Amino acid sequence: MGQTMPGFFSKGGSGDAKTPSSITDLTSTHSFNSQIKDGEYFIDFYAPWCTHCRKLMPTWESLSKSNKRGSTVVAKVDCTENSKVCKEVGVRGYPTLMYFKEGVLLEEYEGRRSLKDLEDYVETMNETCGANCDQQKLETVSNRKGDTLVRYFDQGGWVKEWVELSKRAQEAGVAVAQVDCSKHFGLCQKVGKPDGRSGPASSYLVMYTDGRPLRTVDTRSTRNVDDAWYQLHGKNETE
């Protein structure tokens, strides 16, 4: 009791001086949002005193060195030093693992924490399309066999609800993708999303089946996540 684990939670990262960590340490030196605005980040929000966090860290280190992570940056945030950031993204306990693409939270990971499980998860997330989804990426995702749910969004619109809805979709075997309309207005206009630049922020949800857009939902006219899911998928929670 009372002993510390050398280097695991030092400002320089995990590992000792002879074995520098390959985990990206996101600190308050720069704005969190600006640090993650480009690319994909799988982030461990932790506290140094947390036993489960200490137990996870060697696996997290291995994940950061794995060639299966692709272009995903494996990172960590010390919530005792960055409490405002952790509160803003909705961290309620430690460790909390979240996956971001182009600065947008896609989902909170709640699966098993073995190295293989984490590698499989990252590989799956690499196949989805993030907020900066250009025409080529979107066609690759939406033209897949089966169902794909795409969120065309204005910044600030329906964020928490999308996290819940995308999790529900993935549990049902539906792939998910996002398009930031402030960066790809033409794509959003093409699918018929109402212009949110001069009105309230919104999300326009499109369910593709085998590459064909079959159902759409404008979140400004839907009551909640259950209602949106029923309109898109035709099933509610009890079915």
pLDDT per residue as tens digits for the range 159-184: 778 878 888 888 888 888 888 887 78
What pLDDT score does 216 carry?
92
Overall fold of domain 135-233: Glutaredoxin (3.40.30)
CA–CA separation, 2 and 201 (whole Å): 49
CA distance 199 to 154: 10
**pLDDT on residue 199:** 58
Residue 143 CA to residue 23 CA, distance in Å, equals 35
Give ranges for CATH 3.40.30.10 in the chain.
24-126, 135-233
Is 79 a residue of the active site? no
Lookup: tokens for 174: 């539906």
Give the predicted TM-score (pTM) of the model.
0.57
Spot the catalytic one: 53, 79, 133, 181. 53
Residues 71 and 126 sit within 8 Å (Cβ to Cβ): yes
- CA dist list (Å): 234 to 169, 227, 230: 12, 10, 5
- Which of 78, 92, 80, 62 has the alpha carbon at shortest distance from 26? 78
Assess contact for 207 and 147: CB atoms under 8 A.
Answer: yes
CA distances from 197 to 105, 132, 138, 188 (A): 21, 17, 22, 12
Q: Quick check: 175 and 147 in contact, CB under 8 A?
A: yes
The pLDDT, as a whole number, for residue 197 is 61
Count Cβ atoms below 10 Å from residue 226 Cβ, excluding itself: 14
CATH among 3.40.30.10, 3.40.50.300, 3.30.70.260, 3.40.50.970 for 24-126? 3.40.30.10
Per-residue pLDDT at 156: 61
Contacts of 200 (CB under 8 A, 6+ apart): 157, 220
pLDDT in the model for residue 207: 94
- Positions in the chain whose pLDDT score sits under 50: 1-18, 236-239
Pair of tokens at residue 132:
């900066």
164: left (phi over 0), alpha (psi -120 to 50) or beta: alpha
50 in catalytic set:
yes
Q: Please give the Cα distance from 194 to 99 (Å, whole number).
A: 28
Buried residues in 140-175 as b, exposed as e (16+ CB within 10 A): ebbeeeebbbbbbbbeebbeebbbbbbbbbbeeebb
| pLDDT score recorded for residue 167 | 80
Residue 145's Cα: distance from chain center in Å?
23
Contacts of 172 (CB under 8 A, 6+ apart): 147, 233, 235
User: What's the pLDDT score for residue 31?
Assistant: 85
